[in-house]
A and B are shown apart, each in its own frame.
Chain A
Amino acid sequence: MQERVKSPKFDIIGTRPIRPDGADKVTGRAKFGADHKIAGQLVGKVLRSPHPHARIKSINIAKALALAGVKAVVTREDFKEQSPEFIPAGEMLVNYRDVLRNVLAREKVLYEGHAVAAVAATSETIARQALKLIEVAYEVLPHVINEVEAMKPGAPIVEDGMITAGVTPPPTTPSNVAKRVEFTLGDVAKGFKDADVIIEREFNTKPVHQGYIEPHACVASVSEDGTAELWTTTQGHWIARAHCAKLLGWDITKLRVTSSEIGGGFGGKTVVYMEPLALALSQKSHRPVKMVMSREEVFRASGPTSGANIWVKIGAKKDGRIVAGEAILKYQAGCFQGSPVQPGCMCAFAPYDLENVKVVGYDVLSNRPKVAAYRAPGGPISEYAVESVVDELAATLKIDPIELRLKNAAKEGTKAAYGPKFGPVGLVECLEAAKNSPHWKAPLGKNQGRGMASGFWFNIGGETTVSLQLNEDGTLTLMVGTPDIGGLRASLAMMAAEELKVPYAKVRPIIADTSSLGYNFLTGGSRATFSSGMATVEAARSIIKQASGRAAKLWEIPEDAVSFENGEFRPAGDNAGKHKPMTLADIAKVAGKTGGSIVGYAAISAQGAAPSFGVHIADTEVDPETGKLTVTRYTAIQDAGKAIHPSYVEGQFQGGAAQGIGWALSEEYIYGADGKLQNAGFLDYRIPVASDLPMLDTIIIEVPNPRHPYGVRGIGETPIIPPMAAIAAAACKATGVRMFELPMSPPKVLKAMKDAKAGKKA
């Protein structure tokens, strides 16, 4: 079932036009990261650490440099030290000491696959040979992989001298805990005292990778005068520019970054890996340098999200009213601080209107690649654990899980543990839609079970700039700076066309480079349609105002005597009917003679991002003899605020659900005792394939965000949050056992079922 949403109020918004970049993408014409080529370009390759933890005693590049065809080699010597302070980079706080070390190891290698050196050569073969000629002397150190092990006294210390922040008084001995965070509301001790039922559980999740199908790729070209161009596949080219300029010590203006079409990101393309290396190699070799990661490098050396250990305790009255919720989250950060434990804490109990909440988070280092953002970073892990306990609570109290949630649902006016009071939010509407959906009422087959779970993401706004040019024939060119990963250009063109009352096809959106537009924060946090949409509307309104001025000038009437109705500029008030109305195209024709080109420009910091709640229903079937779980039916319900292009909203729901299904059942980073990743490829890192999934039904709920001109809420993050708990709940019904660990892979499920059977017999 595909819910169709169409508001009669709008001409274009809520319809499903073909995306502007569509034809290029179905014909192979669209240029992604690795599709760009510059004459004379060299091939850049990275030498990576074979050890999970080792001190670098020396690096000798002489033999590599001597190889014919090798044009440059860069190592730690080529980059200046950076400050360990967290400083603003656009909207983010970044510690460039760590960014630098992740790009290229300095004192130590901190994970298997950590970059140690890079070469640029005239061919792939020569570049590979050159890597083998670089001599690195390592002093191998003991390593630690698991976050619980890493927190134990005596664990190998990943970052020498690290003292836990957020603890008073500060600890005197170094540890792998970078930070402790806490969010508290009310008094949990008092809450638990009032509870009739208390459920307390521990959960473990594994790191999962964003799994974008396009590996990281870039082409850098540095000119003799120090100006440079960088073409890269990124979720934020202004961010890439900031990081590269900082690491290379360049003026920002010298670097022009173009974002290619991007083959998936999901948060994983918000950081730089090879870009600074490609620029440094190009600077040294005086040639353009292209670098493309292999799939294996993507898995070993680009960010997965955290694996975690989570403890949750929930207390409730017999009638289902939750009186206290408490959680402790231990998130892997990888080898540098900065796990998404803080958003994990913020999201944990957010779907509930609670008086007493306490969430404590720990940011834990270990010898793994530094985690990167992954769709709703931090949220899926903590909400999986909380939602699983809520499901158990419902079962214990014999209350329908939807009813239990309705009883406790966050709504307008609910104060979240992390601070804000919610405005209008759509959780109750989503729960009601779930309850009334055909799916929730459908009969189940043998060995099948049904579960549901809620999800929450807060969404963000941020710095956004767009430029909307009225062309001389009345068409419009919309320049935006948030890379389009899944239909953004369509949604923005629709908003511009709606605002200006021109046909959708008359607006051509493009993603501008960093030198063509003011600053844009990245595409992430579910901000692009919200923020760039807000800026687009502002730019369109500026065009209307400017065009009104031109009409006023032509008609020699005051500007405020021109009205804009149904796509026409008309003399209004006393002047009504005195002049022939003009369309935007009419004004465009005479723009040159009436004051010059008309361009709408909006440079904003988008405020008013509103949370999006979702509810998913999953059916699973278990093979009782092998423990294999299959998702047989799935429905994703979510509040979109306003669905600009419903197909791409549904697409986000479906894509997030599919990633969540993978996280629930089959995806995980598998390490050996040697600290090395064993499944760095799509063969054994098992993302769902087409035959693994059923159709993914969607229901779009629209509770408009009052702070967006069209009511938009970000919707990309939330859909990855409910699947794990919904599937765990369904699996519990199908198997009779509750699983507390992800992924729920067949060996684990079969063992749990056998243990339960044995337990019953005993």
Chain B
Amino acid sequence: MQYESPDTLEAAAKLLASATDARILAGGTDLLVQMRAEVLSPSLVIDIKKVTETRTIKEENGGFRIGAAVTGAELKEHPKLRSVWPGLVEAANLIGSTQVQGRCTMGGNLCNGSPAADSVPALIAAGAVATVVGPNGRRDIKVEDVMLAPRKLALTKGEIIASFFLPARGAHASDAYLRFIPRTEMDIAVVGCAVSLALDASGTCTAARMSLGAVAARPLLVADAAKALIGSKIDDAALTKLEAAARAACTPIDDKRGTKEFRIDVAGVLAKRTALIALERARKK
């Protein structure tokens, strides 16, 4: 097993394209587990943490550009990010333990290809766009379009996620993320739910995006959720519609972490609760 730690993403993409079974190492919190369990035995591990752009958070066009290998702990420590995108930061901070937070990254969380990844619904709700570097250059792709199915991504050979761009936010806008797990920590989401919304001065919802995790083969952007909220004051009637939209979007499986019925139920519960938190936050801005 080889190890390379190139200084540029272009070099990393070249290495990734050249090997048959190379893997990108960012935080390693999924990769190392899978290597130890012999689920993966890559011939080449490409560490992208020496590439500055993957490791930095910067403000750009009124929004934020977050390197794909920025850790959960660094997201939380950023002086501004947490107040603008509290839901995204809390979602990323639910991945694993404090120890895992010291290493795990949103790029890895997405590229691991799990429908239950915590930060992915939050990125989707935020309308985040991933910048991808490949052997043929750079392109942008909406986060909701990256994952196709478990362990299956819309990236082509040699492509690496460099960063995520979070758009500028106006006044009265915020987000939230909640997940359901059997314990209080250290579990994989049975259901995850992210809501991002904006209000006008009168408190009417002008924009909303909701994403659900762990209720389908990939994290979902629930279009009907936006319909339920936009134009409303997010009153009980709107929340009831939102709950129904969330449940209707679910196509879950029965597995060791939960039943179909339970996931559908809880998706509705979380949708309402998450929206109320986002609403509360948006009102305060």
Contacts and interface: CB of A to CB of B under 8 A. Distances in A.
A747 B186 CA distance: 18
Given A625-B269, A626-B266, A679 B256 contact: yes
B182 A686 contact: yes
Interface residues of A, number: 26
B184 A691 contact: yes
B185 interface: yes
Interface in A720-749: 745-747
Contact of B37 (A296, A679, A684): A296
A750 interface: yes
Contacts of B266: 625-626
A123 to B, nearest CB: 14
Interface string A672-697: 00000011001110101101100000
A294 B35 CA distance: 13
Contacts of B190: 746
A32 to B, nearest CB: 20
13 contacts: A625-B266, A625-B269, A626-B180, A683-B188, A684-B187, A684-B188, A686-B186, A689-B186, A691-B184, A745-B182, A746-B190, A747-B259, A750-B265
Contacts of B3: none
A89 interface: no
A666 interface: yes
A689 B259 contact: no
Interface range for B: 20 to 34
A684 B257 contact: yes
Interface string B229-266: 00000000000000000000000000011110110011
Contact of B256 (A294, A625, A678): A678
Interface in B182-196: 182-188, 190
Given A679-B256, A747-B259, A626 B183 contact: no
A689 B184 contact: yes
A746 B182 contact: yes
A593 interface: no
Contacts of B262: 627, 746-747, 750-751
Contacts, number: 56
A97 interface: no
A686 B187 contact: yes
Interface centre among A296, A745, A746, A747 (most CB of B within 10 A): A747
Interface of B: 36-38, 180, 182-188, 190, 256-259, 261-262, 265-266, 269
A670 interface: yes
A44 B183 CA distance: 36
A628 interface: yes
B261 A751 contact: yes
Contact of B182 (A296, A625, A628): A628
A692 B257 CA distance: 18
Contacts of B258: 746-747
Nearest to A685: B256
A129 B187 CA distance: 32
Given A666-B182, A683-B188, A746-B180, 19 more contacts: A625-B266, A625-B269, A626-B265, A626-B269, A630-B184, A684-B187, A684-B188, A686-B182, A686-B187, A689-B183, A689-B184, A689-B185, A689-B186, A746-B190, A746-B258, A747-B258, A747-B261, A747-B262, A750-B265
B185 A691 contact: yes
DSSP class of B's interface residues: helix, strand, loop or mixed?
loop
B237 to A, nearest CB: 19
B274 to A, nearest CB: 13
Contacts of B186: 682-683, 686, 689
A678 to B, nearest CB: 5
Given A626-B180, A666-B182, A750-B262, A683 B256 contact: no
A141 to B, nearest CB: 25
Interface in A182-241: none
A626 B190 CA distance: 11
B23 to A, nearest CB: 18
> Closest 8 interchain pairs by CB?
A747-B262, A691-B184, A625-B269, A670-B256, A678-B256, A747-B259, A691-B185, A692-B184
A683 B187 contact: yes
Interface in A624-680: 625-628, 630, 665-666, 670, 678-679
Contacts of B269: 625-626
Contacts of A751: 261-262
Interface in A102-130: 128
Contacts of A666: 182-183
A219 B36 CA distance: 22
A679 B256 CA distance: 8
B12 to A, nearest CB: 26
Interface centre among B182, B185, B261 (most CB of A within 10 A): B182
Interface in A600-628: 625-628
A686 B188 contact: no
Nearest to A296: B37
A688 B183 contact: yes
Contacts of B256: 670, 678-679, 684
Contacts of B261: 747, 751
Nearest to A623: B269
A244 B259 CA distance: 45
A445 B158 CA distance: 56
B273 to A, nearest CB: 8
Contacts of B259: 747
A684 B188 CA distance: 8
Given A746-B262, A747-B258, A686 B183 contact: yes
Nearest to B41: A128
Nearest to B257: A684
Nearest to B260: A747
B1 to A, nearest CB: 9
A292 to B, nearest CB: 13
Contacts of A128: 38
A683 B261 CA distance: 23
Contacts of A746: 180, 182, 190, 258, 262
A719 B266 CA distance: 34
Nearest to A691: B184
A692 B183 contact: yes
Contacts of B37: 296
A683 B259 CA distance: 18
Contacts of A630: 184
Contacts of A750: 262, 265
A679 B190 CA distance: 15
Nearest to B270: A626
A682 B33 CA distance: 12
A679 B37 CA distance: 13
A294 B186 CA distance: 19
Nearest to B272: A625
Contacts of B180: 626, 628, 746
